[in-house]
Amino acid sequence: MNEKVIVSKFGGTSMGDAECMKRSALVAFNQGAKVVVVSATSGTTNDLIELAKTAEKSTWENASLILTKIKVKHLKIARELEMNPEKIEPINQLCEELESMSRGVHLLKDCSLKALDSIQSIGERLSSVLFTEAMNIVLRAQSVQTTAKWLDVRDVLITDNQFSKARPLTELIKTRCQEQLSFIRHSDVILCTQGFIGKTQDGMTTTLGRGGSDYSAAILAEGLEADILEIWTDVAGIATTDPRICKEAKAIPEISFKEASELATFGAKILHPATLLPAIRAHIPVFVGSSFHPEQGGTWVKKDVEDMPLVRAMAMRKKQILVTLSTPEMLYSHGFLYQIFKVFNDHKVSIDAITTSEISVSLTLDDSTLLNKDLVNDLEKFADVQVEENLALVSLIGNNINHTPGLAKKIFESISDINVRMICLGASKHNFCFIIAEESAAEVINRLHKTFIA
């Protein structure tokens, strides 16, 4: 028996239909995974959010159309997996639970983040039931003793109560993993469980934020003192940039934790930005590969790697907002930055990039929904506030970036016809980022890729 603990996570596209599930299950089996963490089936989290919003704001007829769509999609997979009525029962129960919650939202015309988290949790709970069956089909075909068992991850993945972006309570999770799951190292069981969701100490369902299944897998890997964490997705590893934006993007065989963390934070959707933190803390190497083409290999993310290029990869994040605060009072005074950061802190809004001048400070925020009226009103108590939208943050990720002469020249020469609104360099050895208009972002990435990588 393989006594290594390998935690494998499969994303939404790897859960697309019964075929995808069986293909992913075979990958998990071949890799010797002991714990498999799955996302909701492709598109389902979006459908669940739409369902919740429709139930809150529109007619019940409209909401029930979405409800039916979700139910039909999952029952179809169950049929394709030839699940008998007894096995299908949990699927029906989850659909009923979803209907009750949606009716509650509709009657109250109120969809709190707490309600939305419970509604979204159904996606991973449904897919994990189906995947457990797919895993058992594969195990039977391999004629092995091993069996797959469904696990409710909420029994171990305990979080705080920040609904929609809950934070895992690491120490508690470690204790629960050791108490409840450590048997897995010496067992013939493969645990199949949900990504993305957790539970507060008083039993309320939470989610870790969009794309959070990667993070879930990493937290479980840490809790279980796993030997390897694998993230299986629809591309063969981390590439030099998003292959959807740039056809010339190339797979990266090895990347350091620091570079990969920056890449994820600055917009490479392939990894949730928090994924690597638990892996770094627990010294767990991470592999990223394609569940569709496992034979193509992938990327190893490790503490130390041999090759440390100046520019390894690039990423972009759209829907950025640039907020510029100006006041003559900033001149020769102290405490101004403290005051404005306190306002952002009070509103629980996190700031990304910052530059300051004599009497003004510019900072960027991710996603326009964050900048609400109250926040702007509070900022206006201290300064004139100017807001620019439809911007993109472009980042180059690599090594020794802040100590290499000539880099900025090369970057800006290759995009000399494009207006750059803000530049951030210096804080990190691994990152150079700047703000441009959103519509130029893809072009900029392609040009920089040509200059530095292709």
Residues that bind ligand ADP (CB under 6 A): 11-14, 39, 211, 233-235, 238-239, 241-244, 268-270, 313
Minimum CB separation of residue 201 from ligand ASP in Å reads 22
Q: Residue 339 carries which DSSP code?
A: H
Q: Residue 239 carries which DSSP code?
A: B
Residue 398 site contact among ligand ASP, ligand ADP, Mg ion, none (CB < 5 to 8 Å, cut-off depends on kind): none
- Asked if 111 and 55 count as a contact pair (C-beta separation under 8 A), the reply is yes
Residue 268 site contact among Mg ion, ligand ASP, ligand ADP, none (CB < 5 to 8 Å, cut-off depends on kind): ligand ADP
Torsion of CA 376, 272, 112, 65, to 10 degrees: 120
Phi/psi of residue 84, nearest 5 degrees: -80, 170
Cβ atoms within 10 Å, residue 430: 22
Q: Which is nearer to ligand ADP, 90 or 289 (CB)?
A: 289
Q: Which is nearer to ligand ASP, 40 or 166 (CB)?
A: 40
- For ligand ADP, the nearest residue by Cβ is 11
Spell out the alpha helix ranges (H) of 196-328: 213-223, 257-265, 276-281
d(CA 139, CA 160): 37
Q: Smallest Cα–Cα separation from 137: which of 88, 80, 81?
A: 81
Q: Which is nearer to ligand ADP, 238 or 365 (CB)?
A: 238
**Which region, judged by CB under 5 A, interacts with Mg ion, from 4-12, 177-185, 258-266, 389-397?**
4-12
d(CA 390, CA 321): 7
Query: Tokens 């895992």 correspond to what residue?
Result: 168
Residue 298 site contact among Mg ion, ligand ADP, ligand ASP, none (CB < 5 to 8 Å, cut-off depends on kind): none
Residue 13 site contact among ligand ADP, Mg ion, ligand ASP, none (CB < 5 to 8 Å, cut-off depends on kind): ligand ADP
d(CA 311, CA 445): 13
- Asked if 138 and 207 count as a contact pair (C-beta separation under 8 A), the reply is no
Q: Which is nearer to ligand ASP, 132 or 275 (CB)?
A: 275
- Work out whether 267 is an interface residue with Mg ion (CB under 5 A): no
> How buried is 24 (Cβ within 10 angstroms: 0-12 exposed, 13-18 middle, 19+ buried)?
buried
Q: Which is nearer to ligand ADP, 56 or 259 (CB)?
A: 259
- Work out whether 195 is an interface residue with Mg ion (CB under 5 A): no
Minimum CB separation of residue 224 from Mg ion in Å reads 21
Residue 123 site contact among ligand ADP, ligand ASP, Mg ion, none (CB < 5 to 8 Å, cut-off depends on kind): ligand ASP
Residues lying near ligand ASP in the complex (CB under 6 A) are found at: 11-12, 39-40, 45, 123, 195-196, 210-213
Pairing relation of β-strands 205-207 and 197-200?
A: antiparallel
- Strand ranges across the sheet with 354-356: 354-356, 360-366, 311-326, 384-398, 431-437, 422-424
Q: Smallest Cα–Cα separation from 63: which of 73, 74, 52?
A: 52
Q: Tell me the residue type at 361.
A: V
Minimum CB separation of residue 173 from Mg ion in Å reads 21
Residue 235 site contact among Mg ion, ligand ASP, ligand ADP, none (CB < 5 to 8 Å, cut-off depends on kind): ligand ADP
Residue 40 site contact among ligand ADP, ligand ASP, Mg ion, none (CB < 5 to 8 Å, cut-off depends on kind): ligand ASP
- Work out whether 211 is an interface residue with Mg ion (CB under 5 A): yes
**Which region, judged by CB under 5 A, interacts with Mg ion, from 144-152, 209-217, 244-252, 284-292?**
209-217
Residue 242 site contact among ligand ASP, ligand ADP, Mg ion, none (CB < 5 to 8 Å, cut-off depends on kind): ligand ADP
Burial pattern 347-368, b for ≥16 Cβ within 10 A else e, equals bebeebbebeeebbbbbbbbee
**Which region, judged by CB under 5 A, interacts with Mg ion, from 207-215, 382-390, 399-407, 437-445?**
207-215
Contacts with Mg ion, residue ranges (CB under 5 A): 11, 211
